[in-house]
Structure 1
Amino acid sequence: MNKEKILSLTDLTMSYGSKKILNGINLEVYKGQIIGYIGPNGAGKSTTVKIMLGLIEGYGGKIEIFGEDIAKGDFSYKGKIGYVPETAEVYDNLTACEFLTFTGELYGLSSENSEKKAFELMKEFGLEAAFHQRLSSFSKGMRQKVLIISSLLHDPDLLFFDEPLSGLDANSVMIIKEILAQLAAQGKTIFYSSHIMEVVEKISSRIILLVEGKVVADGTFEELQEQSAEGTLEEIFNQITGFTEHKQIAERFVGLVSEGSAHD
């Protein structure tokens, strides 16, 4: 394993009023790792990522990215980061060309270079015909591809992806998974948060499970399997989080759906 440390969290805590969201997270992430960052809703996954991106302040503990303490206020590290949020706002009135060129310029690329690179990347996704169309006309999957391109235009060293496959068809999912694998092979570090356990299981070199703001499991999929009696990541996840009622809930739910239906 490459021992070049890309980011470290030391006793990271975060509270909103009296509610504690993060309860002392300690984490070291190394170059070329694909981190599958998973946990139930409300576990603190998005909060962790937003703190690392400098979008949320008021946290406790220490965060170092590329060896620099982000609390010191030098935001140059952000130029080496790409981010796809779970729910992203795009400028509907802009064309894909305008949006991506603008994004590239924000990261220091020239307008000409931004536009040329954006067009070539859109072409690889089969979207070249939509390059000069307004984003308001794009489907969810098309928007997602534009967001993924916008996160990669400036060739970042560290990527934060929060549900990046949302709205994508099966072929596109295969392409994105392969892109992530090849980026990691180049030495890029990827922080990947998703509820789709099957994808996390397949692409991650390391899986971190967060429950109630604490890291409760950290290792490769094989290591997590050894520590658990269960087989798939979804089953391991359910065992560790103590959630074993899905079948009973589903049975009750379907029973209620069937009750007093028009077919009776």
Structure 2
Amino acid sequence: MFTIKNVSKSYNKNGEKAVDSLNLTVNNGEIFGFLGPNGAGKTTSIKIVTGILKPDEGDVFLDDISIKERPIAAKRQFAFVPDNPETFSRLRAIEYLNFIGDVYKISSQDRKRRIEYFCQKFGLKEVLNNRINSFSHGMKQKLFLIASLITDPQNWILDEPMVGLDPEAAFIIKEIMRERTVAGKSVFFSTHVMEVAEKLCDKIGIIKRGKLIFVGTMEDLKQKHSQEGKSLEDIFLSLIGSDVKKTE
């Protein structure tokens, strides 16, 4: 599990906040969907959770470890899949996976078993010796997913993971998400697609202009905002409105 406590972040000197007093807990055994329009603060929030950005205020605790006070220990509690799958492009795919295995100190036996299993699942087994710069966007995305999964993370954090993937790969991700939560681990992913969240998530959070405006189950959302529209998409669009930032 991980907890975001009173986190704020501003990029501008005028103090306009990209993330404003964010408080959120993602529990073990839970798929949590983080929703919002482009520019709402989803990616900024995720970069703070994963230690890529430092918050102006607040802290993040990954399995009770502060990412501000113990960043290395905290970062061992999660694996992160960014929305842009770019990495050391001159490496061969297997070299990159072994590099990740070395960083996370995964035993050779576990590493071999996990690489073989997930590469077979995502259809990359036959191209492991190819250089990453020869991969399509979708293949790079699959490689990042595999790299994150061979670490067997307690917390799996993904930024728009379905974008650029074919339907089969997207289905596999959803399947793995459920498997991980059954095993008592947490899954947190951002999306702007209500349909995906509705079918997959145990709980969702909706962010608008840096502020969290809803946290709960889909049923909670329906009951609380039933007057906004008949469908969940109607409710979502009504909540986020059209006044959003142009960039995140």
* SS of residue in 2 equivalent to 1:72: coil
Which residue in 2 is equivalent to 1:177? 174
**Shift in Å, 1:100:** 0.8
Which residue in 2 is equivalent to 1:3? none
Which residue in 1 is equivalent to 2:130? 133
Larger radius of gyration between Structure 1 and Structure 2: 1
Structure 1, gaps ≥5 residues long: 1-5, 245-264
Q: Which moved more, 1:55-64 or 1:98-107?
A: 55-64
Q: Is the contact between residue 34 and residue 184 of structure 1 (CA under 8 Å) also seen in structure 2?
A: yes
Could you say if the C-alpha distance between residues 74 and 84 of structure 1 is closer, same or farther in structure 2, counting changes exceeding 3 Å? closer
Structure 2 counterpart of 1:138, which letter? F
TM-score by length of 2: 0.90
* SS of residue in 1 equivalent to 2:37: coil
TM-score by length of 1: 0.85
1:199 equivalenced with 2:196 (yes/no): yes
- 1:56 and 1:82 map into 2 onto residues whose CA distance is 16
Residues 91-240 of structure 1 aligned to structure 2 (within 5 Å): 91-110=88-107, 113-228=110-225, 229=227, 230-240=229-239
Q: Give the counterpart of 2:37 among 28, 36, 40.
A: 40
Q: Is the contact between residue 100 and residue 115 of structure 1 (CA under 8 Å) also seen in structure 2?
A: no
* SS of residue in 1 equivalent to 2:196: helix
**Shift in Å, 1:204:** 0.8
Q: Is the contact between residue 7 and residue 67 of structure 1 (CA under 8 Å) also seen in structure 2?
A: yes
1:73 equivalenced with 2:70 (yes/no): yes
- 2:107 and 2:218 map into 1 onto residues whose CA distance is 42
Higher relative contact order (CA 8 A, sep 6+): 2
Q: Is the contact between residue 155 and residue 185 of structure 2 (CA under 8 Å) also seen in structure 1?
A: yes
Show structure 1 runs of 4+ deviating over 6 A.
none
RMSD (Å) for aligned C-alpha atoms: 1.8
Structure 2, gaps ≥5 residues long: 244-248
